[in-house]
Every structure is written in structure tokens, then in C-alpha cells.
């Protein structure tokens, strides 16, 4: 045999050895690798599982030794090399495994090298919405709204940590004893939270909130029963009319999914800036800027918070700002953005009801550390937030929109809200809750904004009752950011017959009730101080009495309603100017909610001789 032939045979033998087909004995003789013994399917007993874990430990050692040679290899070649490592290890130690167990070992090793280990098959299962790893031996999933345990497991804590590092390293993030928690995302946008010792006492914990590779659409959510197509049409016109909106709900109730769908209603020609801890939103518009916060580095420096990104976004000329979730002080900046020309902005927040969402916003604003009066905070909230869409996860695991609630003003120190639509349960069929989001019969105050924005409403206006000018149920000053008028035909808001008083002549007496601080010529409220309003009330009262053949000096009995009883002294100073000397007998009564909402500080009624 020539030297060239010997070299060629040696190269072929080396290649066969590297592929796992042969081994070299101690004497240098080429020995074919024996195929692993194949057994019939074996029951998955604890002893059998322990054997497979032992094999996996040995295989992982082999893989770690060869890891550097696997980094630049494509997935197909990696699987071939894993098969060689598995066959060689099984043959060397004379392990008896079935064909299915061998395939399983090869799959797990390949996933460890090219993917996310035991998480890989769970992440690829489209029916799973959440994956929860509680230490190496306890893995749970959520499917169809129900949590269940699966047989997947990790070898040990180090195995879990390796998978966490593989997830967060591409994002430039870290996890260790100094920084034992981290938020990250997978390449498909799924959200990941990891927490390790010393904060976790059960070992490394991973929670993955999965997102569909293809974003959900309105049709998908209608098919899931989240809400009806008509309700999404209503939310569409709210977005087009640039109402500011919060999506509230509990953990896992579908807030982000709902926000994703609502954001798809934003016109394509608008500039949108999204801000998140870990980018999850999947907007399909052309002009979208995605910003992501950054944790501190090893030296504790370089952190960029959502608050800082929000402030920066204000200088980026956005038409709308979308914050993935408000958790703390960024709520104040979000409210500021909503009232400074960025109408139509969106965000989410954790809360168990729309009212709780408002209370949470108050708390988050206070977390800024600024010493702001509670009244000022609530006025800002009432002006900024127009609509709260509340999502809930029901007992059957289904996720539904349960409330669409309007925020329309402030009364004293209370923010005024009213439900426009609420979920009405009609029954349970095959364990699934049946029901529908239905109108409550309340007409929202923002209906004029649809007209001003040129938004066409369908006949029937989604079941919202038409306006009845003869029976006003509320009066509310338009939000400052909406302005007080426009150039389109018709008034922005009809003048309601509140505060003009009613006079009746009977038995030689004139009875006048509910005279408010309204300018008769314009129907507008006068001032905001008790003195100015008292003066206007008394001027109106004088004109009303003289118009019915009486006058102020013939008043024998009076009734006044004060919004704030502590303002009586200021009211009385004006009263004695109009009634010097012995004034009429009088008493104070409680002001009606309708007058409070109108901004009245005082209203007056009297009885006078005709």
C-alpha cells in the first residue's frame, strides 16, 4: 500500500471516528461502534426516569466538552453530532434504552445547544399561553386559561441558569446575586421574567408569557369571545376620535393583547412612539418607534427608566404615545402627555376594576415623591383619561372585556365615572361562561368628539341612547384639552335648563326654586368663587321676582344650598348687601349632585309676596 493510500485511509478513519461510527482502541486498531441495544417500549417508572436522568447528566458532560466545536455548526449538523454523542455514550456504558428514549435524548440535547432546552417544545406548542418553571423539577403551563403541571424538567439549578443566560445574553442583560431578577423577551416577542437566589428559595424561576407569532386581530378576539364585533367597532371610533384610553385588568387577563388590537386602529399616517420594559407590542403601522428601558450595569450605572424614555419621547414629535404598562411614577408623565397635545395615547395598568385603576393611578403618581395635592392629581386624571377598558379572566379561564367605563369629570374630590357597556352573564354551557357586553343606557359625554373628529357612527350608535334635551341627566364642563367650541355646525354641547330657576304664583305668593349662578344671556356659569356666584344668583333672583310682580323686599322666606358649608360667611357677606337690616327667614339645605357637577357653589330659592 502506497504512502498516499495510507494517508487517505487514516483521514477516512479519523472522519468516521469524529462522526461516532468507529472508535480507536488503545492499540490504535479501528473498532466499529456497537449500535446501542434496542428494547421494546418501557413503562415510564420513577426508576426508568432516574436512569434517563443519569444518562442525560453524562451526555451533558460530553456536550459541554464539545460545545466550542458546535457553536458555528448549523442545526442539521448539530443534530447529527448529538446522535453520535448519544450512541457513543450509551454503548460505552452499556445503557439499555428504547428507540423512543434515544430519540428523546437526542431532541433534548439538540434543544439545549440550539434552543432553550426543556422549554423549547413548550414554546413551540401554540396551545400553551404561559410557561412557569419553579426550580428544575417543577414545570407548569397554562392552556385554555387553566394551569397544569407537565413532565418536563431540568437536570439541576445550573441547567436552568444556563437557559436563563441564553435568553438574556443577546439583550445585554445579566442575572446574578447582585442582580437576582430580570425582565427580557424571546425573539418572537414573548415576555420572560426570571428570578434566582437569594430572592427565590425554590431555585431559579422562569415565567414566560407567550405571544402569538402572528399578532391577534379583532376577528381572533371576537372568535375567542373577548367581546363582540360591535364593541370593537365602538372602540375603533374611540381611537379614531383620539380619546385617551387605559386598559386595566388583573394578571393574565389579556391587557397587552387587547392593547395590541386597539393600537391597530390607529391610522397608518400617524407617528407612534411605544415605550416598554421589554418590547411586547406588535404594531403594524409604518411609522412606529419602539423604545425599551434598560437596567443598570454591573457598576449600578447606565439605567434608563420608562419615565426617562417618556420625557425623551415628548421631544420626538409623536402623534400618540403608547406605554406598555404603568407601574409607578411614569403614570404622572403619561397623564401629562395625554393633556399636552398627545391625544389618543394608550397604556395599561393592573387593577381589579375601573375604579381601582383610578386609585392605582393616584398611588403611582404619589410614588414620584412630589408633594402634589390630591385634588390636583385627581383633576389631572379626570382631564387626561377618557375611557377605561377593563379586561377580566373569568372562572372558566376565558378572557373577556367586562367594562367600558367613561371618566367624565370631578365632583368635590371624587372622580366621576359611568359605565357605558358592561358584561352581562347569561349562563354556562359546557362549563363555559356565556354572556355579552351590553350598553347600560348611559350616553357618554364624549359623543360630540366623534362629530368633531369627523367619525361616522352607525345607525343606533352601538345601542347608546340618543340625547334627550328635555330630560338632562347631567351637566359637565367640556375637558379643557377638548376646547370649548369648534367651527362645525351646531353647538358643542346644548345649554341645559339648570340654574335658571322656576317661578310659580299661587295664593298671593311667588315661589322661586333653584336659582343658580348662570348668566341668562349665555347660559354659562359665572366664575368659580362663592362671592361671584352668590352675586349672580341674587341678581337672577331679583330679575325673576320682578318679572312675576314681586321684588326682593317682599321675600319672606329663603332657602340656600352651599357646595361647601364652610363658605357660609363669604356667602352671608354678599347676602346682607342685598338684604340689609332684617332679612327674610332662611335655612340651608344640601346641594343636589346635578348642581355640584355643574360647578355650582351656591343656589337659592325664595318665597315672596306677589
State the pLDDT confidence band at 284, using cuts at 50, 70 and 90: confident
Residue bearing the bigger pLDDT, 315 or 28: 315
Q: Picking from 64-68, 139-143, 293-297, which range would have the lowest pLDDT averaged per residue?
A: 64-68
pLDDT confidence of residue 37: 53
State the pLDDT confidence band at 270, using cuts at 50, 70 and 90: very high
What would the pLDDT profile of 366-376 be if each residue is shown by its tens digit? 998 888 888 88
Cα(75)–Cα(64) distance, rounded to whole angstroms? Answer: 17
User: Residue 311 CA to chain centroid, in angstroms?
Assistant: 20
What would the pLDDT profile of 7-35 be if each residue is shown by its tens digit? 455 455 545 544 444 444 444 444 444 44
Give the CATH class of 500-609. alpha beta
C-alpha cell at 134: 419553579
- Cβ of 125: how many Cβ atoms within 10 Å? 14
pLDDT confidence of residue 12: 54
Contact 160, 167 (CB under 8 A): no
pLDDT confidence of residue 87: 79
Q: Picking from 80-94, 297-311, 570-584, which range would have the lowest pLDDT averaged per residue?
A: 80-94
Geometric angle at alpha carbon 509, from 503 and 515, rounded to 5°: 30
Contact 157, 135 (CB under 8 A): yes
What would the pLDDT profile of 230-259 be if each residue is shown by its tens digit? 999 999 999 999 999 999 999 888 898 999
Cα(550)–Cα(608) distance, rounded to whole angstroms? Answer: 7
Contact 386, 243 (CB under 8 A): yes
Geometric angle at alpha carbon 167, from 162 and 172, rounded to 5°: 105
pLDDT confidence of residue 320: 94
Q: Kindly give the residue spans of alpha helices, DSSP state H, lying in 320-440.
A: 330-338, 354-366, 374-384
Cα(217)–Cα(194) distance, rounded to whole angstroms? Answer: 29
CATH fold for the domain made of 119-209: Beta-Lactamase (3.30.450)
pLDDT confidence of residue 344: 93
pLDDT confidence of residue 203: 92
Q: What average pLDDT does the segment 258-286 reach?
A: 90
What would the pLDDT profile of 402-420 be if each residue is shown by its tens digit? 999 999 888 777 888 999 9
Asked if the model's pLDDT at residue 430 lies above 50, the reply is yes
- Exposure letters 401-413 (e unless 16+ CB within 10 A, then b): bbbbbbbbbbeee
Asked if 119-209 and 500-609 have one fold, the answer is no
State the pLDDT confidence band at 108, using cuts at 50, 70 and 90: confident
What would the pLDDT profile of 187-208 be if each residue is shown by its tens digit? 887 889 999 999 999 999 999 9
525: which strand partners?
518
Collapsing DSSP to helix, strand or coil, 297 comes out as coil
pLDDT confidence of residue 42: 54
What would the pLDDT profile of 539-575 be if each residue is shown by its tens digit? 999 999 999 999 999 999 999 999 888 899 999 999 9
**Burial label, 350 (beta-carbon count in 10 A; 0-12, 13-18, 19+):** middle
Ordered by start, the domain boundaries in the chain are 34-114, 119-209, 225-281+295-463, 500-609
- Enumerate residues 6+ apart whose C-beta is below 8 A from 108: 56, 117, 118
User: In the chain, what percentage of residues exceed pLDDT 70?
Assistant: 84
- The sign of the CA dihedral 168, 170, 171, 177 is positive
pLDDT confidence of residue 388: 97
> What phi and psi values does residue 609 have, to the nearest 5 degrees?
-70, 140
- Enumerate residues 6+ apart whose C-beta is below 8 A from 188: 211, 213
Find the length of the chain: 610
Mean pLDDT of the chain: 82
Q: Picking from 47-56, 111-120, 407-416, which range would have the lowest pLDDT averaged per residue?
A: 47-56
CA distance readout (Å), 105 to 18, 111, 135, 270: 20, 10, 21, 51
State the pLDDT confidence band at 469, using cuts at 50, 70 and 90: low
- How many CA atoms lie less than 13 Å away from 193 in the CB half-sphere? 7
CATH fold for the domain made of 225-281+295-463: Rossmann fold (3.40.50)
Cα(500)–Cα(515) distance, rounded to whole angstroms? Answer: 6
C-alpha cell at 173: 442583560
Cα(535)–Cα(555) distance, rounded to whole angstroms? Answer: 17
**Strand 205-209 and strand 128-134: pairing?**
antiparallel
- Exposure letters 557-575 (e unless 16+ CB within 10 A, then b): ebbbbbbeeebeebbeebb
Asked if the model's pLDDT at residue 524 lies above 60, the reply is yes
**Burial label, 262 (beta-carbon count in 10 A; 0-12, 13-18, 19+):** buried
- Cβ of 55: how many Cβ atoms within 10 Å? 19
What pTM value is reported for the model? 0.68
Collapsing DSSP to helix, strand or coil, 75 comes out as helix
Amino acid at each position: 500500500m502506497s504512502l498516499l493510500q495510507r494517508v487517505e485511509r487514516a483521514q477516512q478513519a479519523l472522519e468516521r471516528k469524529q462522526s461516532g461510527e468507529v472508535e480507536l482502541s488503545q492499540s490504535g486498531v479501528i473498532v466499529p461502534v456497537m449500535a446501542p441495544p434496542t428494547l421494546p417500549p418501557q413503562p415510564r417508572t420513577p426508576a426508568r426516569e432516574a436512569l434517563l436522568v443519569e444518562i442525560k447528566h453524562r451526555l451533558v458532560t460530553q456536550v459541554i466538552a464539545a460545545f466550542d466545536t458546535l457553536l458555528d455548526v448549523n442545526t442539521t449538523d448539530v443534530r447529527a453530532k448529538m446522535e453520535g454523542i448519544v450512541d457513543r455514550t450509551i454503548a460505552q456504558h452499556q445503557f439499555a434504552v428504547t428507540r423512543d428514549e434515544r430519540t428523546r435524548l437526542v431532541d433534548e440535547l439538540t434543544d439545549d445547544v440550539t434552543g432553550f432546552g426543556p422549554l423549547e417544545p413548550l414554546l413551540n406548542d401554540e396551545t400553551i399561553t404561559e410557561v412557569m418553571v419553579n426550580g428544575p423539577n417543577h414545570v407548569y403551563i397554562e392552556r385554555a386559561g387553566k394551569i397544569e403541571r407537565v413532565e418536563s424538567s431540568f437536570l439541576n439549578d445550573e441547567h436552568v441558569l444556563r437557559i436563563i443566560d441564553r435568553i438574556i445574553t443577546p439583550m445585554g442583560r445579566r442575572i446574578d446575586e447582585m442582580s437576582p431578577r430580570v425582565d427580557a423577551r424571546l425573539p418572537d416577542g414573548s415576555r420572560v421574567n426570571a428570578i434566582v437566589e437569594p430572592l427565590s428559595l425554590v431555585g431559579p424561576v422562569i415565567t414566560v408569557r407567550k405571544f402569538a407569532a402572528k399578532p391577534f386581530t379583532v376577528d381572533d378576539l371576537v372568535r375567542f369571545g373577548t367581546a363582540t364585533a360591535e364593541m370593537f367597532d365602538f372602540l375603533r371610533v374611540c381611537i379614531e376620535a383620539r380619546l385617551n384610553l387605559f386598559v386595566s385588568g388583573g394578571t393574565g387577563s389579556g391587557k397587552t393583547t387587547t392593547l395590541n388590537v386597539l393600537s391597530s386602529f390607529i391610522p397608518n399616517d400617524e407617528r407612534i412612539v411605544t415605550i416598554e420594559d421589554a418590547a411586547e407590542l406588535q404594531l403594524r403601522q409604518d411609522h412606529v418607534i419602539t423604545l425599551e428601558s434598560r437596567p443598570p450595569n454591573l457598576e449600578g450605572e447606565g439605567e434608563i427608566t420608562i419615565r426617562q424614555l417618556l420625557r425623551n419621547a415628548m421631544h420626538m414629535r409623536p402623534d400618540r404615545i403608547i406605554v406598555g404598562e404603568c407601574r409607578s411614577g411614569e403614570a404622572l408623565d403619561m397623564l401629562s402627555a395625554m393633556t399636552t397635545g398627545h391625544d389618543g395615547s394608550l397604556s395599561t395598568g393592573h387593577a381589579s376594576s375601573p375604579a381601582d385603576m383610578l386609585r392605582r393611578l393616584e398611588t403611582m403618581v404619589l410614588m414620584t415623591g412630589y408633594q402634589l395635592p390630591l385634588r390636583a392629581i385627581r383633576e389631572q386624571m379626570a382631564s387626561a383619561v377618557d375611557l377605561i377598558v377593563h379586561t377580566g379572566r373569568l372562572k372558566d379561564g376565558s378572557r373577556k372585556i367586562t367594562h367600558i367605563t367613561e371618566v367624565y369629570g370631578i365632583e368635590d374630590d371624587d372622580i366621576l365615572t359611568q359605565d357605558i357597556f358592561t358584561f352581562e352573564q347569561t349562563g354556562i354551557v359546557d362549563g363555559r361562561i356565556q354572556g355579552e357586553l351590553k350598553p347600560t343606557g348611559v350616553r357618554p359625554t364624549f359623543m360630540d368628539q366623534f362629530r368633531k373628529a369627523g367619525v361616522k357612527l352607525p345607525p343606533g350608535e352601538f345601542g347608546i341612547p340618543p340625547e334627550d334635551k328635555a330630560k338632562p341627566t347631567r351637566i359637565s364642563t367640556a375637558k379643557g384639552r377638548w376646547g370649548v367650541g369648534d367651527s362645525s355646525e351646531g353647538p358643542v354641547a346644548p345649554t341645559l335648563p339648570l340654574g335658571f330657576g322656576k317661578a310659580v304664583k299661587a295664593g298671593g305668593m311667588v315661589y322661586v326654586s333653584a336659582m343658580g349662578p348662570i348668566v341668562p344671556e349665555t347660559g354659562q356659569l359665572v366664575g368659580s368663587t362663592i362671592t361671584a356666584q352668590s352675586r349672580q344668583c341674587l341678581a337672577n333672583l331679583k330679575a325673576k321676582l320682578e318679572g312675576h310682580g314681586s321684588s326682593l323686599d317682599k321675600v319672606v322666606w329663603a332657602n340656600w344650598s352651599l357646595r361647601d358649608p364652610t363658605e357660609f360667611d363669604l356667602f352671608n357677606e354678599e347676602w346682607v348687601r342685598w338684604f340689609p337690616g332684617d332679612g327674610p327667614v332662611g335655612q340651608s339645605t344640601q346641594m343636589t349632585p346635578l348642581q355640584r357637577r355643574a360647578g355650582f357653589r351656591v343656589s337659592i330659592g325664595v318665597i315672596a309676596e306677589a
